A and B are shown apart, each in its own frame.
Chain A
């Protein structure tokens, strides 16, 4: 029998959480992020008001999603752009591969887009013998390693410079002395520059879709997103339908908030707006401009009023960075496009609760994610909702269901509770005296295997209360 997603998660989690080299790389990366994020927040007079404002804007956008998407579409069409609505991954990929086939595309340059990862666009293009270059440095690195992104914002966070230098040596045939990051970046720049200027098609995501102006907004620091959308003859945007903002001016708060939460910057270096192909009188730009609006489960999530706000997510990665589980197991353990708390909340909606419910349980519910979310998504409470939904749809194991039924009967009858608890303590004391704590016969094995055994007092509090503590 093949391994389920849940088994795979457990197996990889066990390996990664014991991998101290991995832990140190992640810790170092996240500690520098933490410091920058903290400094970044101080640039706001009122960070919490900014979060609240973002939340309200996104709520308004999602509450009128149909209206805003149509407004966006109309404005893009007015500039000669095309808008395609894809119900699922297959339709989205089909549309893009059709354009590529029609126009004889041989090379594609891509800037970072999680939606294209979600719909597996690159493999679909590669099937047509099209060479696809990831041009964000982090994405380029993981592409060379044949790996999915480790993190939605910093895809190669799990690698140190020595590993990257080795990779470049192996794949690009050039050795960078001293693993100097500046020279590593320069090597990637040289390599990718050829691709930018030979590619017929550039593919990007969109951080935002702005309804009143009919433009998409892309934030990149490297400028790769700029080149992908300026140089090739065709520009295809692939984005989720939930990325809408009603007004251009909304970016005045969203750009700083996204940059602060994503990297701690005041604003991302290139905050770009694109609304169509090259217009009459413009010096350059693509001849064709396509926007693929991807649903792929989002409208289903929208129908769930309790969790609708999950669509507010701006993919900043703050919840991943702060999550102690993510820090322990790393991005690849999740086996999903979106990792960390937002991934655990979102993936069951996009890819099926049954297969991905375990992710909602893989959390201590500490709430660190919710406390940093820039659009105030109640992330850890949604993990609770997913758990409830999993149980209600009979997704849990029979043994566990019976255990909780028994637990309930016990807790509804204090006498049974007292009797069973005290009998249990006595039994365990006996077992532990025999040195069987954590062994296969220990009912508390799942706890005691990894920890010193729980204390087992002779008397409970209530019994002491009755015997005199009551005063």
Chain B
């Protein structure tokens, strides 16, 4: 529904008029200086950083190991529905866990508020900050925020060294043109709004577990 917006032209005109007086560049060091230490061992760095971010990161060599790990996590959770990104790899994985829990797939819609856990894939893992990059394709927006536990199944080949690479890939892949949402997740939900004391599990997941498969 189009809305009349006369201020649009007005604001643009004001901006253009203001910019007619240029400002000199700020003196300072050259901006092509190296800002971050280069990442030598992405896997090691990811493990360090994700631990520092209070994530659980488990390495596993194959699909069976991943299923075992997923099963363990699910067993530790209270009874209730699990929401999963509808992807063949996750269908295979959950089948291997032989879980009896009710499952809801992203193809059926958003996760229910009472979901006990959400399981999704990632677009990439970022070593520099120990982060998981997801987009709407990873089961939607709620898949990484609604439940008290978010489980990510990822492959070591998805590791990128830093944010710059991750964002560059995301841009070039065109995924942001198709997706309305992406998020770099670096740990569990938290707050320090009370006396700067860190409390986990504010509004989002208290637990973020990454099952990282290193082999095929």
Complex: A in contact with B (CB within 8 Å): yes
Chain A residues packing against B (C-beta within 8 Å): 28-29, 32-33, 43-46, 48-50, 52-53, 55-56, 59, 63-66, 69-70, 75, 78-79, 82, 84-87, 91, 95, 98, 135-138, 141, 154-157, 159-161, 164, 181-182, 184-186, 188-189, 192-193, 196-197, 212-215, 221-224, 226-227, 229-231, 241, 247-249, 251-253, 255-256, 263, 266-279, 282-285, 289, 293, 295, 299-300, 302-303, 305, 308-309, 376
Q: A181-B197, A252-B162, A285-B180 are in contact. Are A44 and B22 (CB under 8 A)?
A: no
Q: Point out the residues of chain A lying under 8 angstroms from B12, CB to CB.
A: 66, 69-70, 85
Beta-carbon contact of B19 and A65 below 8 Å: yes
- The verdict on B115 contacting chain A, using a C-beta distance below 8 Å, is no
Interface 0/1 of B161-177, CB less than 8 Å to A: 01110111011000011
Residue of A nearest to B131 (CB): A267
B104 to A: closest C-beta gap in Å: 10
Q: A164-B194, A271-B184, A295-B14 are in contact. Are A222 and B203 (CB under 8 A)?
A: yes
Q: Point out the residues of chain A lying under 8 angstroms from B203, CB to CB.
A: 135, 189, 192-193, 196, 222-224, 226-227
Q: Among A53, A269, A285, which residue has its beta carbon within 8 angstroms of that of B181?
A: A285
A69 to B145, CA, bound (A): 30
Interface residues of B in 123-142 (CB under 8 A from A): 129-131, 136, 139-142
Chain B residues packing against A (C-beta within 8 Å): 3, 5, 7-8, 10-12, 14-19, 21-23, 25-26, 28-31, 33-37, 49, 52-53, 106-107, 109-111, 113, 129-131, 136, 139-146, 162-164, 166-168, 170-171, 176-197, 199, 201-205
Interface centre among A186, A193, A221 (most CB of B within 10 A): A221
Q: Point out the residues of chain A lying under 8 angstroms from B131, CB to CB.
A: 267, 271
Beta-carbon contact of A249 and B183 below 8 Å: no
A155 to B180, CA, bound (A): 30
Other than the given A137-B191, A230-B181, 20 more pairs (CB < 8 A) read A49-B31, A49-B35, A52-B29, A63-B19, A79-B180, A138-B191, A154-B193, A160-B195, A161-B197, A182-B199, A193-B113, A222-B189, A224-B203, A230-B110, A252-B163, A279-B178, A282-B140, A284-B111, A284-B141, A303-B14
Beta-carbon contact of B176 and A46 below 8 Å: no
Q: A46-B34, A227-B203, A285-B141 are in contact. Are A33 and B196 (CB under 8 A)?
A: yes
Residue of A nearest to B35 (CB): A50
